[in-house]
Amino acid sequence: MQATGTWSPPTGTLGRIISETAGRVTALRKDSARLERAAAVAARPQLTLKQALSRPTVGIIAEVKRKSPSKGWIAQGLSAVEQAHAYADGGAAAISVLTEPNHFDGSIEDLVAVIEDIDVPVLKKDFHVDPIQIVEARARGATAVLLIVRALSPLQLKAMIDAAAQYQVETLVEVRDEIELNRALDAGAEIIGINNRDLETLLIDPATSQRLLPRIPSGIVAVAESGISSVADVERLAVLGVDAVLVGSSLSSAPDPEALVRQLGSIRRGHRAP
C-alpha cells in the first residue's frame, strides 16, 4: 500500500511496461486522424459491460491470455477467437482480450477478431496511459478499456476517464489499496476492479479483495482480479458482495474452458452495504 496520497511513477514490472508503452502511443498519435474518423463511425455495443455484470450470479470476465510477466507462457499459440467462443458458450458475462504484445503476446488483431465474432461485451486489456488509446479502442469496437490507477497520475486518470466518456467507452478502473480506491471513486469510476496482484512486484495477496470490497459502494460494480481459479475462490468473494471476477491464467490453460466458465459463473452473489 502507498504510504501517502502523493502519486509517484510506478516502478518494477509495471514501471517497465508503462515506459515501453510510450513507443506504441507515439505510433498511434501518428495515425490519430484515421483513428478519429474510424471512432466516429464505429458501432456502439448493444450491451454495456455494466449491464452484463448486473446479474444474480457472479459475472465472469473471461480473459484470453497467452503469456504474463509472472508466469511466462500460459497457452502459447492460443487462438483468441476459439477461446472466446468457448468462454461465451460457457456463459461468460464479458471477454477480456490482452493487446499488449511484448509481455502478454497480445495484439489489436486479437481484439478485432473477437469483437467481430462474439456478441458479449469485450474489454480491451492493456496499459492505457494516453487518450489516443481510448480513441483506438472506440475505433476498434471495444466495449470497455482497463485503466490502472497506479499507472496514472491523478490528472491522467481524470483525463482518461473524461476521454472514455467522450468516446462512449466504459472503463474498468483497477485499484490495489484504499488510496487508489478513493481516487477511483473521486474520478467517477462506475466499475472498479480490485487487483490482488501488485503489478510492481507481481506478488499476490488475496486479502486485498477481502479488505477493499466492503469499501466499494453498492451502486458501483465491483470486480475482483488475480489469483482466482476455483469455485471456492468465487464463493469466498461472493459472500463479500463481489459483482464479478476477472479470470485469466486458469481459464486460458484449462483443458475445458467452457466447462470451467460455467462452474465459476454458477455462484450467486451476495450484497454489499449501501
Please identify every residue annotated as catalytic. Answer: 63, 65, 125, 174, 195, 225-226
What distance in Å separates the CA atoms of residue 53 and residue 99, rounded to the nearest whole number? Answer: 22
Residue 58 in grid coordinates: 457472479
Residue 136 DSSP class:
H
Helix crossing, 32-41 with 131-140: angle to 10°? 50
Determine the 3-state secondary structure of 156 from DSSP.
Answer: helix
Name the phi and psi angles at 199, rounded to 5.
Answer: -75, -10
Q: Count other Cβ atoms within 10 Å, centred on residue 102.
A: 13
Asked if 201 and 207 touch (Cβ cutoff 8 Å), the reply is no
Asked if 215 and 178 touch (Cβ cutoff 8 Å), the reply is yes
What distance in Å separates the CA atoms of residue 95 and residue 207, rounded to the nearest whole number? Answer: 25
Residue 57 in grid coordinates: 450470479
Q: Count other Cβ atoms within 10 Å, centred on residue 19.
A: 12
Q: Count other Cβ atoms within 10 Å, centred on residue 132.
A: 21
